Amino acid sequence: MTSTTEQTMSALLSIMARLRDKENGCPWDIEQDFKSIAKCTLEEAYEVVDAIDRGHMGDLKEELGDLLLQVVFHAQMAKEQGLFDFNDVVETLSNKLVSRHPHVFGDKDAKSAEDVMVIWQAQKDKEAKAQRPQESILDDVPVAFPSLLRTHKISKKAAKVGFEWEKTEDVIDKIIEELNEFRAELISGSRDKQDEELGDVLFSVVQLGRRLDLDCEESLRRANNKFYNRFSGMEAEAKLKNKDLKGLSPTEWEELWQLQKNKGL
């Protein structure tokens, strides 16, 4: 770190410590614990991604700061409990970056990004085995991951040891099979079964994305953005025509939708 960076980081850590001071700090910050701000940590990570998607570098700078705050917050709480501090976090990260890049800091050879990923995963698996025994090869995929991401990760690990579809068409057939089972449970009226079968449909769709090397989280994010653009365009069009959205007929809704679709939205 440069001297300026060290001073800036030191000031940030001091601010966080003051906020957590039980006598002179902020009541809200003092009340928080690891679990209470976990949701905030996740939300800040998503807001970083959103700024990147929008290509807004000013927002990205701010959101990265908000994400850094979460790291500093967790580190301060850990320091108070005598577990670790921010310097330990940085040192652990630095050691990990070196150990997982033996093609840069060691004698391994990597000619492509694909080679790098193989080396990275091998080193990661080696570290995981050394840190804790595993009952399953799926154990190192965090349960708290977003469900689409966790589905992708655990199924990818299973596929690596041979639990995989022979053809992509087989996955499509499985999706159709699961949809039919879901349809049958709609008739049965069992909410628990409907919930279970819908989960099976979604799980199978993620398998299709994984086999095609498509990130379903990213695919769904793009679909959400597309829906937002089309629906907000429909709202604007209805407003121009002085029409109440709640009073639109199915035919009128379809006409508005097709209008936005034809605009390329």
What is the 3-class SS of 11-66, one letter each residue?
HHHHHHHHHCCCCCCCHHHHHCCCCCCHHHHHHHHHHHHHHHHHCCHHHHHHHHHH
Residues 253, 263 contacting (CB under 8 angstroms): no
What is the 3-class SS of 159-203, one letter each residue?
HHCCCCCCCHHHHHHHHHHHHHHHHHHHHHCCHHHHHHHHHHHHH
Q: What is the pLDDT of residue 132?
A: 64
Q: What is the pLDDT of residue 133?
A: 66
Q: What is the pLDDT of residue 121?
A: 79
Residue 135, token pair as written in the block: 């009952």
The pTM of the full predicted model, rounded to 2 decimals, is: 0.67
Q: How many CA atoms lie within 13 A of 28 on its CB side?
A: 1
Q: Which residues of the chain have pLDDT under 70?
A: 1-2, 129-133
Q: What is the pLDDT of residue 55?
A: 93
The model's pLDDT over 170-186, given as tens digits with 9 standing for 90+, comes to 999 999 999 999 999 99
Q: What is the pLDDT of residue 2?
A: 59
The model's pLDDT over 16-60, given as tens digits with 9 standing for 90+, comes to 999 999 999 999 999 999 999 999 999 999 999 999 988 999 999
